[in-house]
Every structure is written in C-alpha cells, then in structure tokens.
Amino acid sequence: MIKITIFFLRFNIFIFAYITYCTNVLFLLLNFKIISKKLFHLSAYLCSISLGIKYKIDENSKINLLKKGIHTVNHDNPLDIFVAQCIFRIPTITTVDDHLKNLIPFFKESISNFGHFNFDYLDFDKRKLAYLFLQNKSRIDKNILIFPSGSIYTPITKRFSKSISKLSKKNNLDVITWKIYFEGKQESFVKYEKNVYNFIFKRFLAESINLVVKEFKIFSPLDFKSEEELHEKLRSFYMN
C-alpha cells in the first residue's frame, strides 16, 4: 500500500514537472529567455524529486559551489543529469539530448538556452566544437562544469579528459573537484539501459536515494609546472 501511494505521488510530481517544462518551452518560444531558464531549472528539480532523489548538501559545499573555476565531478550514474542541473547550475557539454529528445519536446533548445552545449560524441567535428565551447566559457565566464570521463559508459578509470588541465593552465583557473555518490542506491533501480521510459518507471517504484558530497578539493594551476603534472594530480584524486 505504501509503495502504491509513493508511486502515485511521484507520478503526479513528474506530471507537474513536465507541465512546468512545457511552460518553459512556451516562454522560450516567446523569447522570454530568463524566465524560461528559471522554469527549466525548476522542472529539473521537480523531476528529480519525482524520481526519489534527496539532496544532502552541507553548508560548506553550498559555499564552494559558488566558486568560479572549472568544476569537475565523477559521472557514473544516469541521475547525474540532475547533479549538473540542480546542484551546479553552470554550463557543461552534454549528450543528454540523444536520450531524451523523444520524450521531451524542444529539449535541445531548452538546454542551449540554459547555457549547455549538446553534441554527438561520435562525431569528431562536433567534439572539436564542444572543446571550443569549453574554451570560450573558461576564458570569458571563467566558470564551467566538466565530467572528466565524459560518459556513464566510460569509467573514469579508463578515460580522464586532458582538456581540464589544459584549460586550467591556459586560463589560470582553479580546478574545483567533487566526488559525489548516491547513498543507499539499488543497482537495479539506477542502471540505465538506453530505455528512458523503463528507467523512469523503475524510479517511481524505487526507494529514495540521497545525493551526497563525498569529497571536495581545489587545485590551483600555479602549483603545477606543467599541464601533465596537473592532469596526473587530478586523475589521482578520482582514482583514490
């Protein structure tokens, strides 16, 4: 009985989140981009609640989230989309449109309006454009979010982007590293098998999970002689 109640509660929150998102699209089409951006953030937050995510972010972490620089965070869970949208709220490069475009109308336009850059990681030219986006954001806004592994399908132990140390040294930006995890997660309820409808349905039935900051550290580019030295230190942080 409790599970049924939770299911319908989450389902109703999800519907409200979807309506909020559609309202964001309407304002975007009317060229009210700032209002659209705020509604897009709200819809993402409501959606995360409907999927059973609870945010346990301490005050110190909240302060550090406001620091400018290159924020990096591990990416090994399909729910990490909400980490980018609800916790950091700063631009990043993403392939999420490939997963959600059939479920959410005008999604690519909405994430672009928020400041993100959507790209096809299999296309070499698109990957170059993604790097140029990161470069420009680092140079002008001095605030960007990067997932070092680039994909939930590629473990951080196998791939760690060298772009981070390169951008840090070039623009003299601190690298603000975060380790997060979902506390009490059930593997069967967070595993994504490229079926977004099945994934959402499972999350409606799943127990709540807590998003927790496990570790945090700032690396200054001035403390390292070369990009390679900084790269190895960043990589070691996530390997430990």
Do 149 and 76 meet the contact criterion of CB atoms below 8 Å apart?
Answer: yes
Supply the pLDDT for residue 154: 75
Number of helices and strands in the chain (H, E): 11, 7
Supply the pLDDT for residue 186: 60
CA-to-CA distance for 145 and 27, rounded, in angstroms?
26
What pTM did the predictor assign?
A: 0.89
SS3 176: strand
Percent of the chain with pLDDT over 70: 92
Q: What is the pLDDT of residues 105-164, one digit of tens each?
A: 888 899 899 999 888 777 778 888 989 999 999 999 999 999 998 777 777 878 899 999
Q: Does the pLDDT of residue 189 top 60, yes or no?
A: no
Q: What's the total number of domains in the chain?
A: 1
Determine the structural domain holding residue 188 and report its residue range.
2-239
Closest CA to 15 of 207, 208, 206, 204: 204
Higher pLDDT, 182 or 39: 39
With 0-12 CB in 10 A as exposed, 13-18 as middle and 19+ as buried, what is 38? middle
SS3 55: strand
In CATH, what number is assigned to the domain containing residue 8? 3.40.1130
DSSP state of 125: H
CA-to-CA distance for 128 and 150, rounded, in angstroms?
14
Supply the pLDDT for residue 192: 61
Q: What is the pLDDT of residues 37-74, one digit of tens each?
A: 999 999 999 999 999 999 999 999 999 999 999 999 98
Q: Lowest-confidence range among 91-95, 135-139, 216-220?
A: 91-95
Q: What is the mean pLDDT of the chain?
A: 88
Sheet of strand 144-146, all strands in order from the earlier edge strand to the far edge: 53-56, 209-219, 175-183, 70-73, 144-146
Do 45 and 119 meet the contact criterion of CB atoms below 8 Å apart?
Answer: no
Distances (CA, A) of 13 to 17, 20, 28, 150: 6, 10, 22, 30
Q: Does the pLDDT of residue 24 top 90, yes or no?
A: yes
pLDDT bucket at 203, cuts 50 / 70 / 90: confident
Supply the pLDDT for residue 224: 95
Supply the pLDDT for residue 134: 92
pLDDT bucket at 22, cuts 50 / 70 / 90: very high
